[in-house]
Amino acid sequence: MFEANSTYPQCDEIEALSGARLTAWQTERLREVADHAYQHVPFYRELWAGAGIDADAPRSIADFERFPIITKRDLVQAGDRWANPRQGPVAFSTRGTSGDPLLVWLSAEEEEAYIVPTMRGFRWAGFRPGMTALLMSPVWHRLAACEAHAVARLGGRCAFFWGSMGPEYLESFLHALSSARPEFVTTTAPFLLSLIRRSTGSRIPSNEILSGVRSISVVGLPLTPRMREFLRDRLGVGDVFERSGTQEGAALDECRWHTAPHVHEDVCYLEVLDDAGAPVASGVRGRLIVTKLSAAGSIFVRYDTGDIAAFAPGECPCGSGFRRLKIFGRPESSVLVGSRRITAYDVRMCIEEDGDLVGRNVLLIREADSSAGVLTVAVEGRAHDQAQLKARLCERLGVDAVRMVWLGDLKVNWGFRQVLDGSEIPLPRS
């Protein structure tokens, strides 16, 4: 699927690497980042010296795995000692992450490095020269800063949407669609789901407005297979691709096989670890640890994002040597039921086996008795095959009991938040 293109030869060159060659390439990048951080960033120099890390490490991936893991709290407490002389003039807020926001600085050098993966991901999603792209990714996210550059370098045209991702801006979005007639759109999955809800019974169905769109690249919600089909069919578009990443430098895009987003391994090195800090096998969930393969901008070395993630097992039919990884959510978008960590994605996977429930807003309710093995779930609509649904959730998720809250005609706005406290939704329980 990888077509040669002289505009950005690095895409094919790096992507062709796999196995030992890719590991060697990444180890060299890790060494460069660690050397710069040791020499110029007091926080890392003090941290690594205290952990007995040599100034010329890492010499291998195994050596790199000896480096301490850091958290947002560590960086907040470090203050100016975390600053990098090459961190750049532009700051983005990590408002999409756990805890208080952290400012992540972006330099022109680093932005240039991330434009190539953005181009690669857009090509995977079907963008071609001459197309028009309507760009709606959240402007506070550093990865979105590369999108317009990527479209321009791919020989396309950019259209921009004025407004936010809130449902109150749906009319403005529809106007932008009808004016620009894009073939490619980037946005959030919650916004599209709000559009579908608004268009039900509307004078202008959304699938007519979007009929010329070949591909939509979405962020903000991990897609289940049925959710992807629902979006594609209800919107009348060619295909829907999942794009994900973190402000700390992780960047991932799906190819047309939709087996899980590929890690852009030329800009980030990702690990998935258990609670003890040991790597987990492919297909097993753990904590996502990010290291940015650039000494420019804000430096992140073995940073615990708080994301729940897993590497996809096996190889992708597309032939890329890049690993694939699915991000399922953060601790605040999950609940602990007994000893099991359950995400809204897990619940949607079970619920959506019933075709009538695909596309419904699903919220997890955090309650005091969840520690006793009871999972509480709120679902838009009215009771539907409840006994069978509860049995499926118990079996698939390994919980003792399920309490269902049916929201009826109450429409809860789609958003990034997928967990509510029990006090926030005082409705009768079945």
pLDDT, one tens digit per residue, over 231-252 is: 999 999 999 999 999 889 999 9
| Cα separation of the two ends of the chain | 50
Confidence of residue 5 (pLDDT cuts 50, 70, 90): very low
d(CA 379, CA 390): 12
Identify which of 84-98, 250-264, 368-382 has the greatest average pLDDT.
250-264
Name the pTM for this structure: 0.91
**Could you tell me the pLDDT band of residue 200, with boundaries at 50, 70 and 90?**
low
